[in-house]
Amino acid sequence: MENEISALLKERFLRYVSFDTRSDENNTATPSSEGQYALAQEIANELRQMGLADASVDANGYVMATLPSNSDKKLPTIGFIAHLDTSPDASGKVNPRSVLYDGTDIVLNENPRTVLSAKVFPEMKQYIGQELIVTDGTSLLGADDKAGVAEIVTAVEYLLAHPEISHGTIRIGFTPDEEIGRGANLFDVKKFGADWAYTVDGGEIGELEYENFNAASAKVFFSGRNVHPGYAKGKMINANTLAREFADALPPGEVPESTQDYEGFFHLTKMEGTVEASTLSYIIRDHNRVRFEQRKQKMLEICASMQQKYGENTVRLTLEDQYYNMLEKIEPVKYIVDIAGKAMQNCGITPKIKPIRGGTDGARLSFEGLPCPNIFAGGHNFHGRFEFIPVPSMQAAVNVILEICKMVQSQPLPN
């Protein structure tokens, strides 16, 4: 089965990453970029050509399709979901290449010299002797989450070619704008019609996740007063200085680069401004709901303190919750996680169960009535120039999807 899957999977993935699908948080339309809609149409056409007659793309770039049951049993309907967009953090104009990894550094680009090094990324060593797909050092790769998309489509293609594999109804969903927190906004759970689903949006081989951050975004606006610096004493209010004071008032160690596992953080994602006006953009993350609320309260307290010190109109804070920890929605149906874990074991893969230090569409969808844990897509170093994915890990993800479909044969319908 490996050889049968490999060539088609790799070709499909490379075709998908040729679409520039960076999402754009400054565009309120859905999808937020034209490339996402173009890829959605490409995939829907491909699914129809395979034989999924109902494959469709709606006006907002959501792809849905059905692989009908071929079983004589009444089985649950399960779904597989991945997202079409890539992160706006790096260029989406991808020029990938394959490398047979021998354990040495991989020079991605000579000018400027960009090196994928096992000294910096020691996890590479576990893939010696494997084919890796890497970037040219100028863009991200897009394995997050075009690997997940390619793996789901390839698994469906395999099931269509092998009707002797008995399975229930399988629903497929591909979403836009997940990277900017909007992937589940317009996802029609009722139309999707699955009893539960899996996002194929995790990292390295074996990852299985059903806990994620509680998440919020924050913007802090500072208003200053500009006066000639030679005559500014007692008159100038420098908005940039106010912004620095706000940032310094947050706990210095509670940032992404200093935290791991269940530790939350404040992440300053953008800063811009002049003496007259400046803005700080943050994301707030914590697995624990109480600590999450405390983090938001901390920002409000700093804002109030600065307003009292400098004037009510000098500092303004907006907070917006983005998603919550899916754990509370998954625990009552924990058997769907157990199915995925057993499927990995059946494929010779040790499940790596850990909390997601991020979020997926599945977090939002779990709160909308579609329980949705996350399984690996196989990539590493998402959102940047050093992203790579081992081809055997992609093949393994396909195998796990197929095994889940087989295992649901013995799973009773949910109440």
Active site residues: 85, 178
Which residues pair with residue 320 across a beta bridge?
217
337-344: Cβ within 8 A, 24+ apart: 337/208, 337/210, 337/373, 339/404, 339/407, 339/408, 339/411, 340/198, 340/208, 340/373, 340/375, 340/400, 340/404, 341/208, 342/407, 343/400, 343/403, 343/404, 343/407, 344/206, 344/208, 344/375, 344/400, 344/403
Rounded CA gap, 67 and 89, in Å? 35
Find out whether 272 and 221 touch, Cβ atoms under 8 Å: no
Q: Rounded to the nearest 10 degrees, how much is the dihedral formed by the CA atoms of 146, 148, 154, 160? A: -130
Rounded CA gap, 310 and 292, in Å? 28
Find out whether 341 and 413 touch, Cβ atoms under 8 Å: no
* Tokens of residue 127, six digits: 């893939």
* Tokens of residue 326, six digits: 């899916």
Identify which of 183, 188, 215, 214 has the alpha carbon closest to the alpha carbon of residue 199.
183
Identify which of 284, 300, 283 has the alpha carbon closest to the alpha carbon of residue 292.
284
**In one letter, which amino acid is 200?**
V
Rounded CA gap, 131 and 54, in Å? 35
